[in-house]
């Protein structure tokens, strides 16, 4: 019988200043890497054009969100850009991990920091940064989604967020998109090979000793 590696799922936390290219990269990863699922967050903001409830986010009222906080349903949550609540529900993550699925979370730096402090679950954290602040501004402008006022707010937030880089396991600079994507894949594939994630180590020993 050939050796089969069995492991629990792994949680990948990805954070980045807004406009760094995090959504673009996550989208590509989900298409190209098998056994990787997205953790759909809850938010109190309105859906943007084209966004689908249950796929991009679960869109809920502030009242519903606060009820979920009271019921301790979140692994982490935060008020992002001082406006809306965003949170990751435990039920979105834990069942997938138990089934051996890897889960990718797109959360802001405050949320990532909460998980790092509380460590409710094993995880790998990755910080994506743009090649420069100037390029970040260019990307936010060329995305054409936010007002100039909103863009300035995001750039100011970025200056604060970068200070959290030291708490992360990995850093990826998103300069050339394809290079950043292959860095992310390399991180995911090496984490998947960590011996500490094996759940069938005893049966591997057995196969070698019972011949």
Residues contributing to the site for ligand 5GP (CB under 6 A): 18, 41, 45, 76-78, 80, 86-88, 106-108, 110-111
Q: Cα 102 vs. chain centroid, distance in angstroms?
A: 11
Sheet with 84-89, strands from edge to edge, namely 57-59, 41-43, 84-89, 74-80
Smallest gap from residue 99 Cβ to ligand 5GP (A): 21
* Structure tokens that stand for 114 in this block: 């909460």
C-beta nearest to ligand ADP: residue: 21
Smallest gap from residue 110 Cβ to ligand ADP (A): 16
Distance CA(164)–CA(184), nearest Å, equals 19
- Phi, psi torsion values for 15, nearest 5 degrees: -130, 155
| DSSP SS3 for 79 | strand
Contacts of ligand ADP in 95-114 (CB under 6 A): none
Among 90, 101, 137, 139, binds ligand ADP (CB under 6 A): 139
Q: Which of 7, 20, 9 is nearest to 140 (CA)?
A: 20
Q: Which is closer to ligand ADP, CB of 21 or CB of 87?
A: 21
185 binds ligand ADP (CB under 6 A): no
* Structure tokens that stand for 87 in this block: 């949170």
Which of these ranges, 37-45, 85-93, 138-146, 187-195, lies near ligand ADP under the rule CB under 6 A?
A: 138-146
Smallest gap from residue 111 Cβ to ligand 5GP (A): 2
Distance CA(211)–CA(47), nearest Å, equals 59
Q: 113 contacts which partner out of ligand ADP, ligand 5GP, none, CB within 5 to 8 A by kind?
A: none
22 binds ligand ADP (CB under 6 A): yes
Cα–Cα separations (whole angstroms), residue 191 to 18, 48, 123, 153, 198 = 26, 34, 10, 35, 11
Among 10, 12, 13, 19, binds ligand ADP (CB under 6 A): 19
Smallest gap from residue 117 Cβ to ligand ADP (A): 23
Q: Which DSSP string corresponds to 156-184?
A: HHHHHHGGGGGG-SEEEE-SSHHHHHHHH
Q: 142 contacts which partner out of ligand 5GP, ligand ADP, none, CB within 5 to 8 A by kind?
A: ligand ADP
Q: Where on the chain is the footprint of ligand ADP (CB under 6 A)? A: 16, 18-24, 139, 142-143, 174, 177
């Amino acid at each position: 019988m050939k050796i089969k590696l069995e492991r629990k799922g792994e949680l990948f936390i990805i954070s980045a200043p807004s406009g760094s290219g995090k959504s673009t990269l996550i989208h590509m990863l989900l298409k190209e890497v098998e056994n990787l699922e997205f953790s759909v967050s809850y938010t109190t903001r309105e859906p943007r054009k084209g966004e689908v409830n249950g796929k991009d986010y679960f869109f809920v009222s502030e009242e519903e969100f606060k009820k979920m906080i009271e019921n301790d349903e979140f692994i982490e949550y935060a008020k992002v850009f001082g406006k809306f609540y965003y949170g990751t529900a435990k039920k979105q993550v834990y069942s997938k991990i138990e089934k051996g699925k890897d889960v990718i979370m797109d959360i802001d730096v405050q949320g990532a920091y909460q998980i790092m402090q509380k460590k409710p679950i094993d995880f790998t954290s990755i910080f994506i940064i743009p090649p420069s602040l100037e390029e970040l501004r260019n990307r936010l402008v060329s995305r054409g989604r936010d007002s100039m006022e909103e863009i300035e707010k995001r750039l100011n937030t970025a200056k604060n967020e970068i200070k959290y880089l030291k708490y992360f396991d990995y850093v990826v600079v998103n300069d050339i998109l394809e290079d950043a994507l292959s860095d992310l894949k390399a991180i995911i594939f090496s984490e998947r090979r960590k011996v500490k994630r094996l759940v069938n180590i005893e049966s591997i020993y057995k196969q070698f000793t019972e011949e």
